[in-house]
Structure 1
Amino acid sequence: MERATRLLVVEDDPELAAMLTDLLTGEGYAVELAGDGQKGLHLGLTREFDLMLLDRGLPAIEGLDLLARLRARGRYVPTLVLSALGQPRDRVDGLDAGAEDYLGKPFDVDELLARLRALLRRPRDHADVLHVPGGELDLSTRSVLTESGDEVTLSERESMLLSVLARSPRRVFTRRELVDGVFEGAEDEGVVDTYVHYLRRKLHRSVIETVRGLGYRLGSR
């Protein structure tokens, strides 16, 4: 017997969450619900899901921050952001943050279901290998295979930091966002600068770009 597709719904509106749970359960999904970002993070880190339906304006942890934290820890779940923030700039922000799809509220039920089906059809063999300037980051081995054929081994934190930037290559991350996503619990944002230095030393200076006054993003080399 084929198992049901496991879907994590992270939504803080109780009425909408109940409607989505009933709808998706009726469509054959095995649904787990998180009513805030903290619970969504816990479920995403401790259980396996095939899809995630994610609100943005969540208590505790904002939706795109939650997505970044999960992926920094190697938890790749194809994600559709479902948000009242539905302007073009909001959609761009969501897609740049790494979401595979973005749908504004209010939404058409048939369109939502079709988009979820489309996400399930996408190949997922790219999940463990990310393009970085001058090579490929293999998350399973925490190493970068350079264009010259060398293999550079990274520490866990180096790999996590580089993967966050690589999953959203056009997005500028503030130091605070990177601390929350990679160095949770650290008080000094300078830890980000330290690990950027480590990565530049191991790979090359242009692997990470400094955006003055804002933070860091993946380099464009």
Structure 2
Amino acid sequence: MPHRLLLVEDDADLSGTLTEALAGEGYLVDHASDGHRGLHLGLSRPYDVMVIDRCLPAIDGLDLLVRLRSRAVPARALMLTALGAVDDRIAGLDSGADDYLPKPFDLDELSARLRALCRRAADATEALRIGGGLLDLALRDAVLPSGDRVPLSAREFELLRILAARPSTVHSRAELRRRVFDEAPAPSIVDTYVYYLRRKLGRAAIRTVHGLGYRLGEL
């Protein structure tokens, strides 16, 4: 299957060149010319890899990546920038980037780095740790510390996956409702599915952070 790639770059000439070159290598490329559009695409579509410019209109590239990571977007990210100092590279990596390429760059080097990121994504673990248990991403069920497997519905799995992908993040009910339940009219649907998961996996599986939302617990 071709890899899906999100390109967030405001330079029209560069984005046109990159889109054509990457599409020629088999990537399915979506382009955003500012941070707002990049955020919308990154949250609404699944990508294998992202190429994000550091200096963007509307939302800066660092802030964009922080926001995507806070929403458990797992796509590998390469940051492009004219800022090549060590401190700039560190800031990019700390914001959630997997790689950092200063401008100007060679297209062949960019392609090689993207291939490496895609290989890393393919080799990534097939499970997310939840205390002494885990969430099996391939079979889409939970594995208790005893080794027993617990089947999950599609929405139970997705809710638990979002929490497990960023275990230290507190997710608001509004965010979880938007991401898992397609803006269901009743906000209480999130609480209902948290109840379902706790009934299957134990009350400690999901922690309530009063006034804020939910975060991952442990099995």
TM superposition score normalised by structure 2: 0.67
CA contact (8 A) 1:152 1:202 kept: yes
Q: Does 1:146 align with 2:144?
A: yes
The equivalences for 1:16-55 within 5 A come to 17-22=15-20, 24=22, 28=25, 30-35=27-32, 36-37=37-38, 38=40, 44=45, 50-53=48-51
Question: Taking every aligned residue pair, what percent have the same amino acid on both sides?
Answer: 39
| Residue 156 of structure 1: how far off its partner (Å) | 0.9
The equivalences for 1:178-197 within 5 A come to 178-197=176-195
Instruction: Please list the CA deviations of residues 23-56 of structure 1 after superposition, one character each: whole Å capped at 9, or x if unmatched.
Output: 6468x453512333555666x45xxx64333579
Residues 12 and 107 of structure 1: is their aligned pair in 2 closer, same or farther, counting only changes over 3 Å? Answer: closer
Secondary structure at the counterpart of residue 124 of structure 1: helix
CA contact (8 A) 1:135 1:145 kept: yes
Q: Which amino acid aligns with 2:183?
A: G
CA contact (8 A) 1:69 1:182 kept: no
2:135 alignment counterpart: 137
The equivalences for 1:55-74 within 5 A come to 57=59
| Residue 12 of structure 1: how far off its partner (Å) | 6.3
Residues 109 and 29 of structure 1: is their aligned pair in 2 closer, same or farther, counting only changes over 3 Å? Answer: farther
Secondary structure at the counterpart of residue 138 of structure 2: coil
Residues 184 and 145 of structure 1: is their aligned pair in 2 closer, same or farther, counting only changes over 3 Å? Answer: same
- Runs of 5+ unmatched residues, structure 2: 82-87
| Residue 149 of structure 1: how far off its partner (Å) | 2.0
Q: Decide which of 76, 79, 84 is 2:76's aligned counterpart.
A: 79
Residues 81 and 29 of structure 1: is their aligned pair in 2 closer, same or farther, counting only changes over 3 Å? Answer: same
- 2:217 & 2:165 partners in 1: Cα distance? 12
1:9 alignment counterpart: 6
TM superposition score normalised by structure 1: 0.66
Residues 146 and 67 of structure 1: is their aligned pair in 2 closer, same or farther, counting only changes over 3 Å? Answer: same
- 2:210 & 2:150 partners in 1: Cα distance? 28
| Residue 80 of structure 1: how far off its partner (Å) | 0.3
RMSD of Structure 2 on Structure 1 (CA): 4.0
Aligned length in residues: 198
Give 1 or 2 for the bigger CA radius of gyration. Answer: 2
CA contact (8 A) 2:48 2:121 kept: no
1:201 alignment counterpart: 199
Q: Decide which of 191, 205, 217 is 2:215's aligned counterpart.
A: 217
| Residue 166 of structure 1: how far off its partner (Å) | 0.9
Q: Decide which of 156, 170, 189 is 2:154's aligned counterpart.
A: 156
| Residue 208 of structure 1: how far off its partner (Å) | 1.5
- Runs of 5+ unmatched residues, structure 1: none
CA contact (8 A) 1:174 1:215 kept: yes
Secondary structure at the counterpart of residue 122 of structure 2: coil
Residues 107 and 174 of structure 1: is their aligned pair in 2 closer, same or farther, counting only changes over 3 Å? Answer: farther
| Residue 186 of structure 1: how far off its partner (Å) | 1.2
